[in-house]
Amino acid sequence: MEYLYWSIIIICFAASFASLIFPIIPGPLVLWIGYVTYYFFIDRDTLSLYFWIGIILLTVLLIAADIIANSYFVRKYGGSKWGERAAAAGVIAGSFIFPPFGIILLPLILVAVAELIQKRTPESAAKAALGSFLGFLSGSIAKIVIQLIMIGWFFFEL
C-alpha cells in the first residue's frame, strides 16, 4: 500500500510542475496533497515543525510569484499603477481563460489597454506590455525554483 501512497506523492509533485504550463492545475494545492498524503498515510513523525512553517511561507511566496514579478517588470518598463493592477488581474484571470496562453496574453493585452486609456503613447504602452511578458517569464522561473526548494526540502526531511 505504501507504493500507492508514494505514487500519489510523486504524481502530485509532477503535477505541480505541469501547473506552470497548464495554470488550471493548482500547483501549490497538489504539492500540499503530496505532503499531507505522506503525513497521514506514511509517517506522521518525520516532517518537522520547521518544515511545515517553511512550507507555508514558501507556499505564500509561490502563489504571489506571478503577481509580484508582473508588477515589478511592468513598473520597471515604464508602466503605471493601473498597468501594474491590470497585469495582476490579467495573471489571475488568464489562469482560467484560455490556458496556458491566457496567462501570457491576457496580462500583456490588459497592460497595453490600461496604458493607452491613460493617454500613453503606443510605444510606451507596448514597452509596459513587454514588461508584463518578462514578468511572466521571471515569475515562471521563480515558481520552478520555489517548487524545487519545496520538494527538495521534503525529501531532505525524510
Q: What does the angle CA 140 – CA 143 – CA 144 come to, to the nearest 5 degrees?
A: 90
Percent of the chain having pLDDT more than 90?
59
* 4, three cell numbers: 500507492
Contact 70, 88 (CB under 8 A): yes
Looking at the 3D structure of the chain, how many domains does it have?
A: 1
Number of Cβ atoms within 10 Å of the Cβ of 18: 15
Model's pTM, two decimal places?
0.82
Locus of grid cell 508602466: 79
Average pLDDT over residues 118-124: 92
**C-alpha distance from residue 7 to each of 20, 39, 152 (Å):** 21, 14, 17
Structural domain that includes position 84: 2-157
Contact 74, 128 (CB under 8 A): yes
Comparing CA positions, the residue from 87, 89, 58, 92 lying closest to residue 74 is 87
Stretch (H or E) spanning 67? helix 49-76
Taking only the tens place, the pLDDT of each residue in 88-107 is 888 788 878 877 788 889 98
Taking only the tens place, the pLDDT of each residue in 25-79 is 889 999 999 999 999 999 999 999 999 999 999 999 998 987 788 788 888 998 8
